[in-house]
Structure 1
Amino acid sequence: MLPKVLLFLLNIFLFLQSRVEGPQTALENEDSTRDVVYGPQPQPPSRKLLSEETKPTASVIGRPSGKLPEASRILNTILSNYDHKLRPGIGEKPTVVTVEVSVNSLGPLSILDMEYTIDIIFLQTWYDERLRYNDTFETLVLNGNVVSQLWIPDTFFRNSKRTQEHEITMPNQMVRIHKDGKVLYTIRMTIEAGCSLQMFKFPMDSHSCPLSFSSFSYPKSDMIYKWDNFKLEINEKNSWKLFQFDFTGVSNKTETISTPAGEFMVMMFFFNVSRRFSFVAFHNYVPSSVTTMLSWVSFWIKKESAPARTSLGITSVLTMTTLGTFSRKNFPRVSYITALDFYIAICFIFCFCALVEFAALNFLTYNQKKAHASPKLRHPPLCSRAHAHTCARARAHARQQQEASVCEIVTSEGNDGEEHLSSSAQRPPSPGIPQGPCNMCIRCCDECNKGFKKYFCMIPDCEGSTWQQGCLCIHIYRLDDYSRVLFPVSFFFFNMLYWLVCLNL
């Protein structure tokens, strides 16, 4: 009996325990299906707050969300009877389009292709009476998707080669409609435009790169462009890529061109740039000048060292040829000579003349030594005792002729127009002229032809004044001494004249 009573009590205890733990187990099973949240657990809201939040009110349901339906109604109203294929004021008056340009970046400027790249925001403003509305909204700002539903000026850039419209993340276009019918259309684009460069003064050149635009189909009688007080916003601190150039300013111009389709108004604005001289000077002018001066070193080398002087002269000429070719490597193939080409050509002439100077010196001195080695002088004939004094004077005169050299006389034309070459002749010494080799040459010139004024004195020990009786005495052996002064002085005066002309033009 007792075991049955105990069993009955145990069942009652288990039943009551299951009734108490049942709801808690179910709540724990429900929480286990949710995400695990770290940190303090949020407190469950009270029933009163939950009921107040979840209970819908009539004011929320019946109230419109902002002014969106009103703006949609205005836009649908003005576009309901709008024909975007016709311009404003058609048949009555021309459409006036006001233009404004904002430059984001300018450059690079390609010299070889004669074009430049520009990134701009192009703004056009006009009035369209069909878009007027009367409401509290001052303006309606629309994105690029609505552009196709409005009339937009067919403006195109006349000197553009390639044009890109930006479309990331959406087409970079915007339309703003004012309540009085004023329309503002803005678009961002990158243009690669042609720029005709005049390279006469290269590398001291300055250029004006234009950007011209006009209507493609509407002549001047239908569409008129005008500047908004020439508003051209330029942010130089932005991504400028001019590299070799400096921006010096901007200007504008308006003109009318005649075509078979009518007269069109063309608007142009110019970006003025000037070249940075330091880059070209370091790569062209400095090497050319140094190479020219290097060729003058041969004037201080002995004339007997023919291999050294020849190799130096040839190296200088070839270096100038290479520099001239290198300067044209990244240069447009223009048909005229630039300032840099002229400078390199003069430097080439200086180097070539330095090489020719040694060739002339070597040729003249070699011929003179050959003449001294085998002189062809006529010996005086044998004389009798009666003429002994005359023969002695003839022998002395022959010895004097042997010591002197042959005078090289410049050719000249006689009275009959024929050219004559003078040869050495003997002339008895004049009583008023001091004796010496230079005077022998002067007498030689005077005897051969009175019209000769210049000659070369090829006597090694010739001494005397430079000007003697109107003749210029040039010593062949002193040709290097003359060149040491003549070449640097000539190059200095050339540079002075060159830079004065190039920098002032």
Structure 2
Amino acid sequence: MLTKVLLILLGLSIILPSRSEGPHVESENRPSAYDDVYGPQPQAAEEKLLSEETKPTLSGPHSTLGKLPTATHILNSILNNYDHKLRPGIGEKPTVVTVELSVNTLGPISILDMEYTIDITFCQTWYDERLRYNGSFESFVLNGNMVSQLWIPDTFFRNSKRTQEHVITMPNQMVRIHKDGKVLYTIRMTIDAGCLLHMLKFPMDSHSCPLSFSSFSYPESEMIYKWEDFKLEINEKNSWKLFQFDFTGVTNITETISTPTGDFMVMTLFFNVSRRFGFIAFQNYVPSSVTTMLSWVSFWIKKDSAPARTSLGITSVLTMTTLGTFSRKNFPRVSYITALDFYIAICFVFCFCALMEFAVLNFLTYNWTKPRASPKLRHPDIRARALMPPRASAHEHPDAFVCQIEDSDESDGEEGPSCPAQQSLSPGGIQNPGGCCKWCKKYVCVVPRCEGSIWQQGRLFIHIYRLDNYSRVVFPVTFFFFNVLYWLVCLNL
């Protein structure tokens, strides 16, 4: 029996050391397996249990929840007897609201609707003695759900057409309460505000788009607005959508407006912008100038090419009409003309005058010169009769003149009567073969050659057959001086 007990004890002594050495070997081999792994090292089960057993436990509600009950107690104490319907300092002194504004995005500016879009973060600060508290917290930050439990200034934007408050993912508004009763209220909103644009100098115009705000119900005796040293943050790095405009600065004014309900303090910010000239120049000024100069090509086309000159003139006039209509397409219906309208109108006048120049030339040369319409007298007997009028006729009609009918080969290709009108026997003046008014007789010559006539001496006359030559100089020079005067006036105003 004793032998059996000894054998059992010997077997247990052999088995137990082998089991205890197994985990010890694994613990020695474990570091080599996790040397190259970044992260927390796995722990043994006994070590885990030991750490959990030896971990101290917090007792009591204040130790488990930290300072949360203290903050809750403070909020409850200051809001228990708080009436959010009454402003702070009512009946004693006006509430001073300090305003601070941050511009996130400015634009676009709608010329047709005369409005602009602005995305701002609007901050208002005031003191409310009812919200003072004692404690270790310097301030409380509350989300938008708590706004309805506090008094908030009823600020509204006077020139806004549409206002959108951002609510994704939560309402973008915040309230911060300091221990001395200072309250900061911040909200983000997008406003479509009206902007009265004065387009008289368009497209060299500059504008000041206002953003005006005031209290809706509290007059100046109860609420006063002031700037925080005019602190205005402008984030120009954001994607501003001004497109045709450049931002030039911001100004502000403070004024008092009298209404039937009282005198209200109004704060106004002016965002100054100036128009970029490049887009308008390539869309309107360049096509108008090129079309005007293109209409002058007709002065170098022969006057007998009526279809070519007429089609060119009509096309230029219609093109200027289209440009004038296109420039007003996305434009407010103002009752005055702008600088661009005036320029296009002058270009239209130049194109129309180029077309009328050919009409006048054609009318004078082909309708007032009747002898050119009759067949040429080439028979020698008829030529002799024409050169030798009867004496009786000469004595009976002292005003008659002699005209030699000949071919027009010497007139350098110019059409018209082949002989110049001669001075009549009476000192009254020439008798135009086609008939003409008095000023035409004095100052206009409608024949190819106007030489040797007494009526031309000492007078300024216009040679109709050289009207194209005059136009080649007069039109470009006049248009050049008009451009110089136009740009000097527009750029210096």
Give the TM-score range, shorter chain.
0.7 to 0.9
**Post-superposition offset of 1:288:** 0.6
The reply on whether 1:348 has 2:348 as its aligned counterpart is yes
Q: For residue 494 of structure 1, what is the aligned residue in structure 2?
A: 482
The amino acid of 1:276's aligned partner reads: R
Q: For residue 20 of structure 2, what is the aligned residue in structure 1?
A: none
Percent identical: 76
**Post-superposition offset of 1:275:** 0.8
The reply on whether 1:237 has 2:264 as its aligned counterpart is no
The amino acid of 1:493's aligned partner reads: F
The reply on whether 1:222 has 2:222 as its aligned counterpart is yes
Alignment of 1:43-192 (within 5 A): 44-46=44-46, 49-54=48-53, 57=56, 59-61=58-60, 63-192=63-192
Q: Match for 2:464 among 476, 489, 492?
A: 476
Are the aligned partners of 1:380 and 1:391 in contact in 2 as well (CA < 8 Å)? no
Partners of 1:442 and 1:495 in 2: CA distance: 43
Partners of 1:135 and 1:205 in 2: CA distance: 58
Are the aligned partners of 2:105 and 2:239 in contact in 1 as well (CA < 8 Å)? yes
**Post-superposition offset of 1:61:** 4.6
Q: For residue 402 of structure 2, what is the aligned residue in structure 1?
A: 399
Partners of 2:373 and 2:82 in 1: CA distance: 111
Are the aligned partners of 1:113 and 1:332 in contact in 2 as well (CA < 8 Å)? yes
Q: Deviations over 1:381-404 (max 9, x none)?
A: 6459xxxxx969979x72269944
**Post-superposition offset of 1:142:** 1.4
Alignment of 1:196-275 (within 5 A): 196-275=196-275
Partners of 1:181 and 1:441 in 2: CA distance: 105
SS at match of 1:87: coil
The amino acid of 1:242's aligned partner reads: L
Q: Deviations over 1:148-182 (max 9, x none)?
A: 11100000111111111111111111111111111
The amino acid of 2:479's aligned partner reads: F
Residue 187 to residue 383, structure 1, CA distance change in 2 (3 Å): closer
SS at match of 1:267: strand
Q: For residue 409 of structure 1, what is the aligned residue in structure 2?
A: none
Partners of 2:42 and 2:328 in 1: CA distance: 79
Are the aligned partners of 1:84 and 1:149 in contact in 2 as well (CA < 8 Å)? yes
The amino acid of 1:50's aligned partner reads: L
**Post-superposition offset of 1:50:** 1.2
**Post-superposition offset of 1:57:** 4.2
Are the aligned partners of 1:130 and 1:181 in contact in 2 as well (CA < 8 Å)? yes
Are the aligned partners of 2:84 and 2:149 in contact in 1 as well (CA < 8 Å)? yes
Q: For residue 437 of structure 1, what is the aligned residue in structure 2?
A: none
Partners of 2:78 and 2:60 in 1: CA distance: 29
Partners of 2:442 and 2:269 in 1: CA distance: 63
Partners of 2:213 and 2:91 in 1: CA distance: 24
**Post-superposition offset of 1:196:** 1.0
Residue 269 to residue 454, structure 1, CA distance change in 2 (3 Å): farther
Q: For residue 322 of structure 1, what is the aligned residue in structure 2?
A: 322
Q: Deviations over 1:55-100 (max 9, x none)?
A: 6745455625332222222211111111110000000111110101
The amino acid of 2:478's aligned partner reads: S
Q: Deviations over 1:354-393 (max 9, x none)?
A: 0100000001001344234559x9x976459xxxxx9699
Residue 124 to residue 453, structure 1, CA distance change in 2 (3 Å): farther
SS at match of 1:273: strand
The amino acid of 2:239's aligned partner reads: S
SS at match of 1:461: coil
SS at match of 2:65: coil
Residue 401 to residue 210, structure 1, CA distance change in 2 (3 Å): farther
Partners of 1:181 and 1:253 in 2: CA distance: 29
CA RMSD of aligned residues (A): 3.4
Partners of 1:373 and 1:65 in 2: CA distance: 117
**Post-superposition offset of 1:426:** 3.9
Q: For residue 30 of structure 1, what is the aligned residue in structure 2?
A: none
**Post-superposition offset of 1:139:** 1.5
The reply on whether 1:292 has 2:295 as its aligned counterpart is no
The amino acid of 1:490's aligned partner reads: T
SS at match of 2:401: helix
Q: Match for 2:492 among 491, 495, 504?
A: 504
Are the aligned partners of 2:398 and 2:425 in contact in 1 as well (CA < 8 Å)? no
Are the aligned partners of 1:458 and 1:477 in contact in 2 as well (CA < 8 Å)? yes
Partners of 1:52 and 1:373 in 2: CA distance: 127
Q: For residue 35 of structure 1, what is the aligned residue in structure 2?
A: none
Q: Deviations over 1:464-501 (max 9, x none)?
A: 89x96542111000000000001001111111111111
How many residues of Structure 1 are paired with residues of Structure 2 in the alignment? 431
**Post-superposition offset of 1:264:** 0.9
Partners of 1:269 and 1:72 in 2: CA distance: 40
The amino acid of 1:458's aligned partner reads: V
The reply on whether 1:367 has 2:355 as its aligned counterpart is no
Structure 1 gap ranges (5+): 1-19, 21-38, 385-389, 407-423, 430-439
Tell me which moved more, 71-80 or 91-100: 71-80
Residue 317 to residue 54, structure 1, CA distance change in 2 (3 Å): same
Partners of 1:189 and 1:255 in 2: CA distance: 24
Structure 2 gap ranges (5+): 1-14, 16-33, 376-385, 406-418
Residue 497 to residue 463, structure 1, CA distance change in 2 (3 Å): farther
Partners of 2:315 and 2:58 in 1: CA distance: 98
Partners of 2:97 and 2:176 in 1: CA distance: 15
Are the aligned partners of 2:398 and 2:426 in contact in 1 as well (CA < 8 Å)? no
Alignment of 1:35-46 (within 5 A): 42=42, 44-46=44-46
Are the aligned partners of 2:129 and 2:181 in contact in 1 as well (CA < 8 Å)? yes
SS at match of 1:491: helix
Q: For residue 27 of structure 2, what is the aligned residue in structure 1?
A: none
SS at match of 1:472: coil
SS at match of 2:225: strand
Q: For residue 6 of structure 1, what is the aligned residue in structure 2?
A: none
